[in-house]
Amino acid sequence: MACSLENYPHRRRNLLTGEWVLVSPHRAQRPWQGQLESLPVATRPVYDPQCYLCPGNERAGGHRNPHYTETFVFDNDFAALRLDAPAAQETFGDLLEAHAERGLCRVVCFSPRHDLTLAEMDTDAIRRVVEVWTTQHAELGSFPEIRYVQIFENKGEVMGCSNPHPHGQIWAQETIPNEPWKETLQQQAYYNRTGNTLLGDYLALELRLGLRIVCENAHFVALVPYWAIWPFETLVVSRRPVPSLLELTEAERQGLADILKRLLVRYDNLFQVSFPYSAGFHQAPTDGQQHPEWHLHLHVYPPLLRSATIRKFMVGYEMLAMPQRDLTPEAAAAQLRRLSEIHFRTEPSVTA
Ligand code: H2U
Ligand code: ZN
């Protein structure tokens, strides 16, 4: 069953935030005379003496990286949040309000290899990154000041990533930020009403409909959400309703590495380019409360629309009114589903 509104402008509700997205399927064919953005597939050296993330190199703050061989985590030298901020606030009547925010920022190098991306690393190496995310989440979440841990990656210059060396970031802070806060409220309301997690029931429905599934394994499913905003946006959901990475079994952590590998290879294959995106986990707050309503998931927000050089811009209408998309989520899922899970840059000799 396809969406009964697929030929007409319509709006869809985002289950996780309660917000709406405008879908205009008939516009997908409109002519394009705008910017052609070039994203060359550059070949990079295995080690770059100028890179501040490569093993053994000096960083901007004067610290020197160890000669790490797998993953490496360090405190961000230009952290947006600090633990030593004073507990201060400022208000002007009920009009203006500000509060000091304490927190910590870390950088996670995924690999010593300057030339790889997560999509090009093997599943065992991705699994080690999953382990680091998990232990970092446990460590940062156990600080009494920290109520939310945001693990994310900006990949590609187009997403504002400053360095091609494969890495992600973790920002951990005193309050629950806007996006996970909206999701907390939506998930709580649903859980209180039904006793099930919102994403557990949503996933069961998507598996039954089969329209928006991209790939799956025994523990995780990658799908284009019904309410996707970005053209090829995906949501990776655990089959078992767990609040965070901390509750995953060993087999589930392996399953997460496997689904990431397969999804990211598909993305690279879509336009035969190292696919840019911002991605990150949403998990239960680390505020000392039980969060049975929370269901671990990963959002992947890639900007590309039609080719390696044509991206979706979130501008006028989106900035002023609401998110809007042309390509339907069902069409995007069908395109991603058709792709190979063998990376387009894999040399035949390497796979043999
Ligand atoms: P991006 O992934 O968005 O490019 O960020 C890389 C981070 O690395 C950025 O937050 C940090 C920047 O502050 N960084 C260091 O901590 N040390 C350095 O020597 C350079 C960059
Ligand atoms: Zn490097």
Select from 169, 276, 187 the least CA-distant residue to 233.
276
Is residue 87 very low, low, confident or very high in pLDDT (cuts 50, 70, 90)? confident
Count CB neighbours of 181 within 10 A.
Answer: 14
Residue 162: predicted pLDDT: 82
DSSP-assigned beta bridge partners for residue 22: 11, 324
Which residue in the list 10, 67, 167, 219 is annotated as catalytic? 167
Residue predicted with more confidence, 350 or 19: 19
Is residue 156 very low, low, confident or very high in pLDDT (cuts 50, 70, 90)? very high
Q: Where are the alpha helices (DSSP H) in the chain?
A: 123-141, 178-194, 198-209, 250-271, 316-320, 329-337, 348-351
Domains and CATH numbers, the chain: 10-88+96-337 (3.30.428.10)
Instruction: Tell me whether strands 167-173 and 148-155 are parallel, antiparallel or unpaired.
Output: antiparallel
- Catalytic residue at 167? yes
**What b/e sequence results for 200-211 when a residue is b if at least 16 CB atoms lie within 10 Å of its CB, and e otherwise?**
bebbeebeeeeb
CB 64 within 8 A of CB 57: yes
121 phi/psi in degrees, rounded to 5: -75, 155
CA nearest ligand 1 atom 13, residue: 78
Q: What are the pocket residues of ligand 1 if the criterion is a CB atom closer than 6 Å to any ligand atom?
A: 52, 59-61, 76-78, 107, 154, 160-163, 167, 169
Residue 31 scores a pLDDT above 90? no
Is residue 348 very low, low, confident or very high in pLDDT (cuts 50, 70, 90)? low
Residue 328 scores a pLDDT above 70? yes
Is residue 1 very low, low, confident or very high in pLDDT (cuts 50, 70, 90)? very low
Q: What percent of the chain has pLDDT over 70?
A: 93
User: Residue 116 CA: which ligand is closest?
Assistant: 2
94: tokens are 């009920």
What is the whole-number distance in angstroms between the Cα of residue 321 and the centre of ligand 1?
33
Residue 197 scores a pLDDT above 90? yes
Mean pLDDT of the chain: 94
Q: Which atom of ligand 1 lies nearest, measured to the CA of 59?
A: 19
Residue 244 scores a pLDDT above 80? yes
